[in-house]
Amino acid sequence: MRMFRNRTTGLAAVTTAVLALSLTACGEGSSGVKSSGPAADSAASAPAPAQAEKNTDTAKGAANGKNASTAQGAGAAKGSAGQAAANTPVCTTKNVAISAAHQGGPPYTHIVLTAKNTSGHSCKLTGFPEIEFLESHRENVPPVAKSKPATPVVLTAGAPAYALVKLSDGGRTENTEPVTAFSVTLQGGGGMTAVQAPGGGIAVNPAKWATGYWTPELRNGADDF
């Protein structure tokens, strides 16, 4: 009789322990105890929606501020260049040497004018070279608007500027005329000078000729015509 009572008491104790463990496990699962592992770490490190939106706005603000600073810097540089040009005297034919050279190979549809500052001080070239190729055509060779720079070209002592000039389309049936020398007038009161044609002579077509503006260098796109 005593053995049966002891076994009953022991079985009751085991059952009570199992129930206690089950209740404890359920309590921990429902109490929101923090889990461990990569997924839990990622969830914990992810910013709340409000914080993520705030971070995005901050990044946009920084980008906009950088763009504004860049634009302001470009505007300031342009303003400085314009101020420097305004305070610089105009180049004249007495302080620049102008020469012509072929641009590309046959049929030699273009030449490049080079104006080199031979004085000991800075000067500026305004606009485009006013070219007269033929005595029978007294009008100047027309300029190409897209080649115009934002500000006049300021030449320091010894520095060059360039202007691309179109002579013809290079066709065999074009009505061209030979030219061995021509005149170039510098705008702004710079005076006129005679320039020798490269290679002993060039062929020009009054229906096709055109000139670019003076620029510090020839630029792809703007000076392609």
Question: Tens digit of pLDDT for each residue in 24-57?
Answer: 444 444 444 444 444 444 444 544 555 555 555 6
Predicted pLDDT at 26: 42
**Measured CA angle at 146 (ends 194, 153), to 5 deg:** 55
pTM: 0.65
Confidence label for 137 from pLDDT (cuts 50, 70 and 90): confident
Predicted pLDDT at 71: 52
Closest by CA position to 223, among listed 126, 131, 148: 148
The strand pairing partners of 186, in sequence order, are 191
What is the greatest pairwise CA distance in the chain?
Answer: 144
pLDDT, tens digit (0-9, with 9 covering 90-100), for 150-207: 999 999 999 999 999 999 999 989 999 999 999 999 999 999 999 999 999 999 999 9
* Alpha-carbon separation of residue 111 from 161, 163, 223 (angstroms): 14, 9, 12
Cα separation, 7 vs 13, in Å, equals 10
